[in-house]
Amino acid sequence: MAKIGFIGTGIMGQPMAANLQKAGHQLFLSEHHGKAPQALIDAGAIALANPQQVAQEAEFIIVMVPDTPQVDDVLFRADGVAAGLSPNKVVIDMSSISPTATKAFAAKINQAGAQYLDAPVSGGEVGAKAGTLSIMIGGEPQTFERALPLFQAMGKNITLVGSNGDGQTAKVANQIIVALNIQAVAEALLFASKNGADPAKVREALMGGFASSKILEVHGERMIKGTFDPGFRINLHQKDLNLALAGAKELGINLPNTAGTQQVFSTCTAIGGGNWDHSALIKGLEHMANFSIRDK
């Protein structure tokens, strides 16, 4: 059994934390931004006042918050994780944030004698609940091996990509691919429906060919049925694409399709859809076309 601090028990974090409990680990939670989930407390988690106290109690400290500024705050605020670290403790950031900032955060944590892993995830709320997340990790191999049982409690496809920052780079690449595939499926279904075909039947036909994909299977069905309750919100995917576009600018490269998909997400946000599931990107295209595939 490991003593694990878990900071960030939202849509993704709470089921991830619950899977660590099911694997027999002791959890410590921070209440610096609100009460800890009662379900985790009932299962044995211990609530503490702030991240510093969590870091003092735990061997591993997992952070799962929305964006780079929140990670910075949790780690380096006056009563943050860094203030409670001692040598050989491991900080694991499972948020999806800037690779450049990640390298700077890791350097600060390493200076305190602790180790740092960036370990963003893919798989959404469904994967978090099922313990089947894909986890992309940057850090030292020996630190990865220490933390591997924790990752195995939360995910299935677990890859040490390289050094600090490389896990976040892999996640940004993942989000580029997912976004562009969502847009491809949305455009195809919009084209088919506007041309008079049944989008559900078109999707069924495409599932048997080279165009088949997880996005077509899962999000294509959501687009057809109009079930856009968030598994992964548009505003969070926009944040990830902003990381991609900012990184591309730093690298002096062009990502034209990523930029185009970001514009469609921005259309969704403009019509009130920032909290829709990212499969609702199709509603941005429908808005521009003044046509819905669900109104036939």
Element (H, E) at 235: helix 234-251
Strand 90-93 with 115-118, pairing: parallel
Task: For residue 193, give the 3-state DSSP assignment.
Answer: helix
**Which residues pair with residue 118 across a beta bridge?**
93, 138
CB-based burial, 35-53: b 16+ in 10 Å, e otherwise: ebbeebeeeebbbbebbbb
Q: Pick the catalytic residue from 171, 201, 283, 296.
A: 171
Task: For residue 112, give the 3-state DSSP assignment.
Answer: coil
Is 171 catalytic? The answer is yes
253 CB burial (10 A radius; 0-12, 13-18, 19+) = exposed
Measured between alpha carbons, how far is 192 from 205 in angstroms, rounded to an integer? Answer: 12
Measuring CA to CA, which residue among 168, 115, 121, 109 is closest to residue 141?
115
Task: For residue 160, give the 3-state DSSP assignment.
Answer: strand
And the tokens for 195?
């041309």
Distance linking the first and last C-alpha atoms of the chain: 56
**Residues present in the chain in total:** 296
**Which residues pair with residue 158 across a beta bridge?**
135
24 CB burial (10 A radius; 0-12, 13-18, 19+) = exposed
Up-side HSE of residue 169: CA atoms within 13 Å toward CB?
A: 14
Measured between alpha carbons, how far is 235 from 73 in angstroms, rounded to an integer? Answer: 20
Q: Which are the catalytic amino acids?
A: 171
